[in-house]
Amino acid sequence: MDCLALVHLVRGDPQKSIAAAEEAIKAYQQGTWEHTVIYVLNVEGLAYLELRQIDRAIDCLDRANREARMVEDIRVEGMTRLNLAHAWRVKGDTTQALRHAEEAVSIFTRTQGGELVPAQALVDALRANGAGLAAAEARALVKVAQASLSNPDLLNPRSFLQDAVTLAQGVNRPEIAAEADQLAAAIRARTGAQLA
């Protein structure tokens, strides 16, 4: 069921993702695989984020992060930090978002995981936002999306691309908007998912 939750998330059906995640959590808690719940909570948090139920998303991701620290699963700790950064960004709290993104960068710097690139790009986007540099923020968001494509346990790239297009159009940077649109079209073609 946990794989099914992830498939539904990637295909753009967060409601089915949440239902599958809930079933997986119950099954894991009844068996000997309870440590696997952290992955499912991460996916469930991302699904709630897709539905713009931000507080529920933050609750799931925060719980996954705490449990990842308890079982010393540093990779999941970093992923959930990065996803928390995204959730706080969507909620409009860039201070919290930046704190979580910087912590994710710190973790992925130690592990040298592939997640370091999207984490650093999100830090760059958040700092550009704080400095009022919309074009730099848009470009960094495209980089976040591009770097997140290979890992469905991370941030929704479509969400970042939408924001990048809006920012780029607002500062008359059609080349950045076009790059974001092309990447979004490639994602739709690959997954059949629509932009959120």
What is the rounded distance in angstroms from the CA atom of residue 20 to the CA atom of residue 37?
Answer: 12
Cβ neighbour number for residue 61 with a 10 Å cutoff: 28
Element housing 91 (H / E): helix 74-91
| Tens-place pLDDT, residues 1-12 | 455 555 666 667
User: Residue 55 corresponds to which tokens in the numbers above?
Assistant: 């507080």
At residue 156, the pLDDT reads: 82
Nearest partner of 89 among 144, 136, 42, 15, judged by Cα = 144
| Tens-place pLDDT, residues 139-164 | 999 999 999 988 888 878 888 999 99
| Tens-place pLDDT, residues 18-53 | 766 667 666 666 655 555 788 889 989 999 998 999
* Greatest CA separation for the chain: 55
What pTM was computed for the model? 0.82
Domains defined along the chain, listed by start = 2-191 (1.25.40.10)
Q: Which region, left, alpha or beta, applies to residue 132 given φ > 0 means left and ψ of -120 to 50 means alpha?
A: left
| Tens-place pLDDT, residues 64-107 | 999 999 989 999 999 999 999 999 999 999 999 999 999 999 99
At residue 189, the pLDDT reads: 84
What is the rounded distance in angstroms from the CA atom of residue 115 to the CA atom of residue 119?
Answer: 6
User: Residue 81 corresponds to which tokens in the numbers above?
Assistant: 């930090």
